[in-house]
Amino acid sequence: MLGAIEAGGTKFVCAVSDDDLNIIEKVSFSTTDPEDTLQRIFDFFDGYEDLKSIGIGSFGPIDVNKNSIKYGYITSTPKQKWIDFDFLGMMKKHYNIPIGWTTDVNAACLGEYELGSAKENNSCIYLTIGTGIGGGAIVNGKFIEGFGHPEMGHILIKPDPKDNFEGVCPYHGNCLEGLAAGPSIEKRYGTKAQNLSSDHKIWGIVAYYLAQALVNYTLVLRPEKIILGGGVMNQPHMLDLVKEEFERLLSNYVEIPNIGAYIVTPSLENDAGVTGGLILAQQSL
């Protein structure tokens, strides 16, 4: 039996599966403080005595550098109570089994790479556009990381002349996340993004920002596929708008796969993260 934790800033999802990754049980609860959240994790997994390993995909930033003394920690998160929380260490204290550790978006990327939209590919990027923006990338089965994990949401992009918004990122103001994640839309108009009509001008602006980001990722990594998840992608036409802007900005400079197969949504939908966590658990054995 395998276990997975999708640790999000808003909610946690825990799941167990059989050895063939068929999910047997899955629970979800709100992210509160670390002690209470950890207790809920223990309450769930303690019920499964034949658990062989667990894979964790966590919100962050997190430390994924095995040579670092803070390996396994959540580090500089805006969630005060979680700053410098030794998540992996606390899990290892309670469970004497292998535990895989990566970012939430890397886990979703792994799920899509092995069993979802990118299962026929050797490389892909997974980007979520929700409360924040984050991305992970896999090339030949390995996460792209070095000193740390990628922070694809905080790249610097050109503001749209039609948009004089200063951005909401506490670090950079108008980085990609500061201009295009859900809270930036809410801050501009004083209502949740999903309450705006589908012909509102903001969708073209957000698509322009996302397309710039995808052009940059394409030029740096040349992946075979880019998968876009997260709440903002629930906006009807967002995928088409992004594809149109992307083609305009790339301007045929480099060859890419057919655009319809290149920029897609996650075929595992909401299970990409937990599925990736289960695969990570399997790999950690």
Q: For binding to ligand ADP (CB under 6 A), which residues are involved?
A: 8, 10, 128, 130-131, 182-183, 192-194, 230-232, 234-235
The residues near 213 (Cβ < 8 Å, ≥ 6 apart) are 127, 152, 155, 157, 176
Give least dist CB 48 to ligand ADP, A: 26
Would you state the torsion angle of the CA atoms of residues 258, 261, 262, 264, taken in this order, to the nearest 10 degrees? 150
Q: Which of residues 236-255 bind Zn ion (CB under 5 A)?
A: none
For position 175 contacting Zn ion by CB under 5 A, the verdict is: yes
Q: Per-residue b/e over 223-239, b at no fewer than 16 CB within 10 Å?
A: bbbbbbbbebbebeebb
Radius of gyration of the chain (CA): 19
Give least dist CB 4 to ligand ADP, A: 16
Q: 55 vs 182, which CB is nearer to ligand ADP?
A: 182
Which partner in ligand ADP, Zn ion, none is near 174 (CB below 5 to 8 A by kind)?
Answer: none
Q: 188 vs 225, which CB is nearer to ligand ADP?
A: 188
Q: 13 vs 169, which CB is nearer to Zn ion?
A: 169
Q: 137 vs 193, which CB is nearer to ligand ADP?
A: 193
Which partner in Zn ion, ligand ADP, none is near 231 (CB below 5 to 8 A by kind)?
Answer: ligand ADP
Which partner in ligand ADP, Zn ion, none is near 172 (CB below 5 to 8 A by kind)?
Answer: Zn ion
Q: 177 vs 271, which CB is nearer to Zn ion?
A: 177
For position 172 contacting Zn ion by CB under 5 A, the verdict is: yes
Give least dist CB 11 to ligand ADP, A: 7
Q: Which residue is nearest to ligand ADP (CB)?
A: 182
For position 169 contacting Zn ion by CB under 5 A, the verdict is: yes
Give least dist CB 103 to Zn ion, A: 16
21 CB burial (10 A radius; 0-12, 13-18, 19+) = middle
**Do residues 149 and 136 lie in contact, with contact meaning Cβ atoms separated by under 8 Å?**
yes
Q: Which stretch binds Zn ion (CB under 5 A): 166-174, 214-222, 233-241, 264-272?
A: 166-174
Give least dist CB 255 to ligand ADP, A: 31
Which partner in ligand ADP, Zn ion, none is near 171 (CB below 5 to 8 A by kind)?
Answer: Zn ion
**Do residues 169 and 183 lie in contact, with contact meaning Cβ atoms separated by under 8 Å?**
no
Q: 102 vs 235, which CB is nearer to ligand ADP?
A: 235
CA pair distance 26, 6, nearest whole angstrom = 11
Q: Which stretch binds Zn ion (CB under 5 A): 99-107, 150-158, 211-219, 233-241?
A: 150-158
Q: 129 vs 157, which CB is nearer to ligand ADP?
A: 129
